[in-house]
Amino acid sequence: MNSTATLASSADASHARLVPLRQDASVIGLVGLAHASSHFAHLLLPPLFPVFMQEFGLSYAQLGLLMSLFFVVSGLGQASAGFVVDRFGARPVLFASFICFMGACLVASGANGYGGLMAVALLAGLGNASFHPVDFTILNQRVSAPRLGHAFSAHGLTGNLGWALAPAFLAGLGALVGWRSAYLAAALMYALILTVLVLQRDKLRTETLVRAPDAPKGGDLAFLKLPVVWWCFGFFLLSTMTLAVVQSFSASILKALHGVSFEAATMTLTAYMLCGAVGMFTGGFVAARRPQHSDRVVALCMGAGALLLALCATGLLGGPGTMAVLAATGFAVGIGGPSRDMMIKKATPKGATGRVYGMVYSGLDTGFAISPLLFGLFMDRGWYGATLLGAALVLLLSVGAALGVGRRTRGT
């Protein structure tokens, strides 16, 4: 290690000692709780797709359109939310999102057809729009630099836990008390979490962007001219298309290909998310120790996930084997999560955190919007193995996007 790197490392370590661990942990915990809530909202509808198909007579393509609506609204809102967060702060935007989530759950509890479900998707998508600009603005401003790798790990881990909880919560509680009551319980859960965040609001305060009177017009949009931002956007779009297939259709694929029960298939999705959370935890240590190679870590993890998913597509593993390998795919992809966020941080100009994360993570929403529509058509034609194989190929393409980001941020 050269002398400059040694001095930088020493300075980071000294700064970490000056900031109490409890202070950083409180911020990370609150942001993680909020992030888990947003990921829970991603799956407000998919776990109950089989119920909606039976009760309202819907097709896979119609159900896929619901998720496309959610993520179109979220993606458009997320790109805009970054500007709002930079200008007015993260905290008020965060609180408004929780109000949207509560509204979505209440509407879902009284839905009587496809129109009601579309309203749920719209409200939940609007609530989801602000989370990545909000979360990463708070983390980058309030957490000490040497702990950021672990902060990103906790952020990704809690998101996966939110995904893991949603199917178990909605399908499990729905089986006991009915799906309408399950949505009422979800609304109460959001109200309780919002209460905690309001009581701890001092830990969520962020500095806002102060625009100089003589600043040139269009300065807020200058980051859009950076090619690396669009490479990041492309990475999120491609990698998320694969995740959308797993979330929306894995239960139906397992049931169709291997005769797996609905309950077992739903628990496989939960296992995928839990394994992803364990991977995120492990990946936090990798990101902290190898921040300069974040793009290569991401590429390796996405490549491994693509190979495992392709193996599932062959149908050679049988039901139990496919479920186990699908869960392992979550672990492989999860390890790359914290390094992915570190990769984006290196591509972000100073003072533009909300805007860059808003634009880049709108690629996530775009992927979620496109994928259910495209692969929903595959599912309606009975191309179950091809759906998994297509998801694997798209994930493999994201490897090239990650390496493209790395080439443009090397040495940053």
Tell whether pTM > 0.85.
no
The residues, any chain, with a CB within 8 Å of residue 132's CB and separated by 6 or more, are 78, 357, 358, 361, 364
pLDDT at 3: 40
The CA distances from residue 249 to 51, 197, 282, in Å, are: 14, 33, 27
Distance CA 171, CA 52 (A): 12
Question: Mind listing the pLDDT tens digit for each residue in 367-387?
Answer: 887 888 788 888 888 898 899
Q: 120, 163, 154: which is closest to 136 by C-alpha?
A: 154
Count CA atoms within 13 Å of residue 44 on its CB side.
Answer: 38
148-165 per-position pLDDT tens digit: 878 888 888 888 788 878
**Residue ranges of domains in the chain:** 24-205+220-409
Q: Considering only residues 20 and 106, tell me which one the structure prediction assigns the higher pLDDT.
A: 106
Checking if the pLDDT of 216 tops 80, the result is: no
Q: What is the CATH code of the structural domain delimited by 24-205+220-409?
A: 1.20.1250.20
Is residue 402 over pLDDT 60? yes
* Amino acid 337: pLDDT: 85
pLDDT score for 74 = 85
**Spatial CB neighbours of 332, under 8 Å, sequence gap ≥ 6:** 279, 301, 304, 305, 308
The CA distances from residue 254 to 54, 92, 157, 169, 270, in Å, are 18, 42, 25, 20, 14
**Can you tell me the distance from the alpha carbon of 131 to that of 208, in angstroms, rounded to the nearest whole number?**
17
What does the alpha-carbon distance between residue 42 and residue 372 come to, in Å, rounded to a whole number? 13
User: What integer is the mean pLDDT of 181-209?
Assistant: 91
Rounded to the nearest 10°, the torsion over CA 134, 139, 140, 146 is -170
pLDDT recorded at residue 80:
79
Q: Identify whether the C-beta of residue 303 lies closer than 8 Å to the C-beta of residue 246.
A: no
Q: Which residue has the higher pLDDT, 227 or 15?
A: 227
Cα-flanking dihedrals φ and ψ of residue 290, to 5°? -130, 50
Answer whether residue 79 shows pLDDT above 60: yes
State the angle between helix axes of 318-346 and 227-258 in degrees (0 to 180), rounded to the nearest 10: 170
- pLDDT-based confidence at 353, cuts 50/70/90? low
The pLDDT of residue 18 is above 80: no
User: What confidence category does residue 230 fall into, taking pLDDT thresholds of 50, 70 and 90?
Assistant: confident
Whether residue 233 is predicted with pLDDT greater than 50 in this model: the reply is yes
The DSSP element (H or E) to which 195 belongs, if any, is helix 179-199
pLDDT at 338 over 80: yes
According to the model, what pLDDT value does residue 214 have?
42
Cβ burial, residue 314 (10 Å; 0-12/13-18/19+):
exposed
Burial (0-12, 13-18, 19+ Cβ within 10 Å), 324: middle
Banded model confidence at residue 225, pLDDT cuts 50, 70, 90: confident
Each residue's pLDDT tens digit, 98-126: 999 999 999 999 999 999 999 999 999 99
128, 42 Cβ separation under 8 angstroms:
yes
| Average pLDDT value for the chain | 83
**Cα gap 120→369, rounded to integer Å:** 15
Residue 346 pLDDT > 90 = no
Highest mean pLDDT among 23-27, 64-68, 141-145, 222-226: 23-27
Confidence band of 8 (pLDDT split at 50, 70, 90): very low
Task: Residue 39: name the closest of 411, 381, 365 by CA.
Answer: 365
Asked if pLDDT for residue 356 goes beyond 90, the answer is no
Predicted pLDDT of residue 212: 45
Mean pLDDT is highest, among 5-14, 40-49, 259-268, for 40-49
